[in-house]
Chain A
Amino acid sequence: MRVDPMKATIEVGATTEAPATDPVIAEELTKRFGEFTAVDRVSFRIHPGEVFGWLGPNGAGKTTTIRMLLGLIRPTSGNLNVLGYDPVKQTKTMQAHVGYMSQLFTLYNDLTARENIRFYGKVYGLNRSALAQRQQEIVQMAGLEGREDMLTANLSGGWKQRLALGCAIVHNPRVVFLDEPTAGVDAISRREFWGLIYAMAKKGTTILVTTHYMDEAELCQRVGFINQGRLVAAGTPDELKQTHMRGQVLEIDTPEPDRTVRVLKEAQAQGRMPFDEVALYGAQIHVVVPDAEGNRQPIRTLLEKENIPVTAIEWILPTLEDVFISTVRDPAK
């Protein structure tokens, strides 16, 4: 019986000895392009059946890391192990067990949904009966029933995205790399997609996923933050909120968020308030301060002096977005 992936992280994480069976292992992984170091001595492990979020700003080295794991580009130095294979030396063998969905869904627009699945199935060398079965499973998984014969070009974003996932896993891979799979897809399709990710993980597939949506990152069992090629933090979302947040977060509720941000930023710029960050967060304002309890009243006084009504100032747990911004802005810490 398979271990529940939701618990697997905690159990595995609790043992100090790293299990030899981790399907993805990177050690001191480095990639230089000329003078530029895209990935700089990055080490991490992904546990079996885990959903691992690989996060970082644009240009941080996320895609480069994935390409090395896939054996598409060669590391400058460091070690890689995917499912026991060396992606550099055993590229073909490894690729038979690994799925990849790139940022730009590489589907053929002039083929139908079914033809795309068949095409990818044949590329992966599935035989006729296996293909027929997988085709049916994928159509069902992606909710494409009734749309099998539509031209891919005519499918909307959510369908296309699920079809792309289906094609990426047509060969039943044990590890799947998803590079920004939900970019530009609406909220409903995103949720359905995450449902699929969890269904795969539940069956034991190990998943690495990159995303710019921090609410999606909250759904990962563990995440790694990469910035300027370096891994700056790794752990469960809850762990990172406790260990990697510089300062504490106050959430301010006011009917005048724009003016509040301006007043607070001014105070920050003039050194009157010890803010690390002032930002609109949805309709509220998040302020990162060294001492939430102590700084709360001065903020209220400042705003009220400017005739800004304050509905509430609350000390809240940071969101993963707060942590991300804190970590990425100040990697020196």
Chain B
Amino acid sequence: MTNEIAISSQALVKRFTGQARTVTAVDSLSFEVKHGETFGLIGPDGAGKSTTTRLILGLLRRDGGASSVLGYDSMRDVYEIRERTGYIAQQFALPGDMTVLENMRFFADLHGIPRKQQKSSIAELLKFAGLTEFSARPAGRLSGGMKKKLALACSLIHRPQVVLMDEPTLGVDPVTRREFWNLLGNLRAEQGLAIFVCTPYMDEAERCNQVGLIYKGRLIAQGTPASIKKMVPGHLLEFKPDQFVHARELVTGMAGVLELQTYGAMLHVFVDEIQRRQGEIEQALSAQSITWSGMRVIQPRMEEAFISLVKRQEAVDEG
């Protein structure tokens, strides 16, 4: 059971035809999500994350390839999928004038869950989401974080085996984000749910078992967060120069510098060899009377890897 494929996408294609040109929003995308696994689809704005989600759910018509959920074809078996899948859209709407409890009942009714059964499962989900004491509050008067948790609870009312979420924690504070991910962790670990999540948060990508990097509709990297981080060559040096622009230009052209990223007022420099290059960089900065602070070697995170991989792809595309 645990190794069964919950979501499958094989060479999936979606094109949007406008007046002037046709855009391939999803370009031959292939991946699989197993039960008990969290798959994170990450990519820049407009890369095709939401479109992919909608294709998998059968909300959009594909132009090529295949996709399925629990073995059901996304286009043919829409209702079978809907009965077994939870979905939180990026802009979900919970009726604001209905209370938390009424919202839950509303979604339960939509899914045809008998009233008798509703009682216990709603109570259970409200407890799970930490919303029990807010049952009587209108959804419109919940905080942003609580709304997200309510959306999650509503999407689970029919006990789905698969949940798809499109940027579920957008605009949510760190405390609530942590709580939300703990809830997801419980769902995955205790109930073996397959979770598919689109996110712009790189630290959330690190919490996934598998990650797909999508860029211009294509998957440019796929694997565990650890394996993706290993795709970035070299070592990472961080420092804060006092003359930022000057330092950036100076370091860019130096031997052994593989890549340069900026991070606020700091520079992140990927080099082939730490000891040697750190010394050379320090010398070069001093020679130009540029001072710096906080020179140190850091481990690349998902974010540095992501930026590096996307930039490399951009360079390939531009030839």
* A303 in contact (CB, < 8 A): no
| Alpha-carbon distance A185/B47, docked complex (angstroms) | 12
Taking a contact as CB atoms closer than 8 A, the residue among B173, B225, B307 that contacts A191 in the complex is B307
Residues of A contacting B189 in the complex (Cβ-Cβ under 8 angstroms): 258-259, 262
Interface string of A168-212 (1 = CB under 8 A from B): 000000000000100111111101001101100010000000001
Q: Does B44 contact A (CB under 8 A)?
A: yes
A283 in contact with B206 (CB, 8 Å): yes
Are B200's CB and A185's CB within 8 A?
yes
CB of A328 closer than 8 Å to a CB of B: yes
Kindly list chain B residues whose C-beta atoms are within 8 Å of the C-beta of A281: 203
Task: Tell me if B175 counts as interface (CB < 8 A to partner A).
Answer: yes
Q: Across the interface, do B264 and A282 meet the contact criterion of CB distance under 8 Å? A: no
Indicate if A92 sits at the interface (CB-CB under 8 A): no
The complex places the Cα of A248 from the Cα of B201 at a distance, in Å, of 26
Instruction: Report which of B143, B226, B242, B303 forms a contact with A187, defined as CB distance below 8 A.
Output: B303
CB <8 Å contact, A188 and B310: yes
Binds A, one of B104-112, B130-138, B180-188: B180-188
> Cα distance A103–B170 when bound, in Å?
12
Asked if A189 and B263 sit within 8 Å, CB to CB, the answer is: no
| B263 contacts across to A, CB distance below 8 A | 191, 194, 219
What range describes how many residues of A lie at the interface? 35 or more
User: Which residue on chain A has the smallest CB distance to residue B189?
Assistant: A258
Q: Tell me, yes or no, whether A143 is within 8 Å of chain B by CB.
A: no
Interface assignment of A321: CB less than 8 Å from any CB of chain B: yes
Q: B266-289 toward A: CB 8 Å interface, digit per residue (1/0)?
A: 100000000000000000000000
- Within 245-270 of B, Cβ neighbours of A (below 8 Å) are at 261-266
- Whether B171 sits at the interface, judged by CB under 8 Å, is yes
- In the assembled complex, the CB of A321 is this many whole angstroms from the nearest CB of chain B, namely 5
- With contacts A6-B242, A191-B262, A258-B188 taken as known, whether A283 is within 8 angstroms of B174 at the C-beta atoms is no
Residues from chain A with a CB closer than 8 A to the CB of B234 are none
Q: Is the CB of A321 within 8 A of B174?
A: yes
Among B172, B265, B306, the residue within 8 A (CB) of A6 is B265
Given that A219-B264, A258-B188 are known contacts, is A283 also in contact with B173, CB under 8 Å in the complex? no
Closest B residue to A182 by CB, please name it.
B200
Cα separation A106 to B66 with both chains bound (whole Å): 40
Q: Mark B10-41, 1 if CB is under 8 A from A, else 0.
A: 00000000000000000000000000000000
Judging by beta carbons under 8 Å apart, are B200 and A212 in contact?
A: no
Give the distance in Å from the alpha carbon of A229 to the alpha carbon of B58 in the complex: 45
Residue of A nearest to B261 (CB): A191
Please tell me if the beta carbons of B143 and A186 are within 8 angstroms of each other in the complex.
Answer: no
Instruction: Tell me if A282 and B262 are in contact (CB < 8 A).
Output: no
> Which residues of A48-75 are within 8 A (CB) of B?
56-60
Give A60 to B293 CA distance when docked, in angstroms.
34
Asked whether any CB of chain B lies closer than 8 Å to the CB of A126, the reply is no
Contacts of A274 in B (CB 8 A): none
Tally of contact residues, B, Cβ under 8 A: 48
Say yes or no for A280: interface residue by CB 8 A criterion. Answer: yes
* A280-B185 contact in complex given A187-B307, A191-B263, A325-B178, C-beta closer than 8 Å: yes
Q: Determine whether A7 belongs to the interface, using a CB cutoff of 8 Å to chain B.
A: yes
Whether B200 lies near A184 (C-beta < 8 A) is yes
> For residue A219, which residues in chain B have a CB less than 8 angstroms away from its CB?
263-266
Task: Determine how close the nearest CB of chain B comes to the CB of A90; give it in whole angstroms.
Answer: 33
Task: Give the contacting residue for B176; candidates A58, A185, A213, A261; CB below 8 A.
Answer: A58
A247 within 8 A of B: no
CB of B174 within 8 A of CB of A58, answer no
Cβ-defined partner of A158 (8 Å) among B44, B264, B265, B266? B44
Residue in A56, A103, A259, A321 with the greatest tally of chain B CB atoms within 10 Å: A321
Are B301 and A282 closer than 8 Å at their CB atoms? yes
Determine if A4 and B173 form an interchain contact, defined as CB atoms under 8 angstroms apart.
no
Q: Which residues of A contact B212 (CB under 8 A)?
A: none
B314: nearest chain-A partner, CB-CB: A188
| A4 B242 Cβ-Cβ under 8 A | yes
Question: Which chain A positions have C-beta within 8 A of B47?
Answer: 186
Residue in contact with B173 in the complex, picked from A56, A157, A215, A282, CB distance below 8 Å: A56
A6 and B264 CA atoms in complex are apart in Å by 11
Complex alpha-carbon distance, A94 and B225, angstroms: 48
**CB-based contact A280/B182 at 8 Å:** yes
Chain A residues with CB under 8 Å of B207's CB are 280, 282-283
Chain A residues, Cβ within 8 Å of B307: 187-188, 191
- Tell me the complex Cα distance, A198–B185, Å: 37
Give the docked Cα–Cα distance between A219 and B206 (Å). 21
Ranked 6 nearest A-B pairs via Cβ: A219-B264, A282-B206, A157-B45, A57-B173, A186-B44, A58-B144
Query: A186-B47, A194-B263, A212-B171 given. 18 additional CB < 8 A pairs?
Result: A6-B265, A6-B293, A57-B143, A57-B174, A58-B171, A58-B172, A156-B45, A184-B200, A186-B200, A187-B44, A189-B44, A191-B262, A194-B264, A219-B264, A262-B189, A280-B178, A280-B207, A282-B203
Sample (20) of A-B pairs whose CB atoms are under 8 Å apart? A6-B240, A7-B242, A58-B143, A58-B172, A58-B176, A103-B171, A184-B171, A188-B311, A191-B261, A195-B262, A198-B265, A212-B172, A219-B266, A258-B185, A262-B189, A283-B207, A283-B226, A324-B174, A325-B178, A329-B175
Q: Which residues of A contact B (CB under 8 A)?
A: 4, 6-7, 56-60, 103, 156-158, 180, 183-189, 191, 194-195, 197-198, 202, 212-216, 218-219, 258-259, 261-262, 279-283, 321, 324-325, 328-329
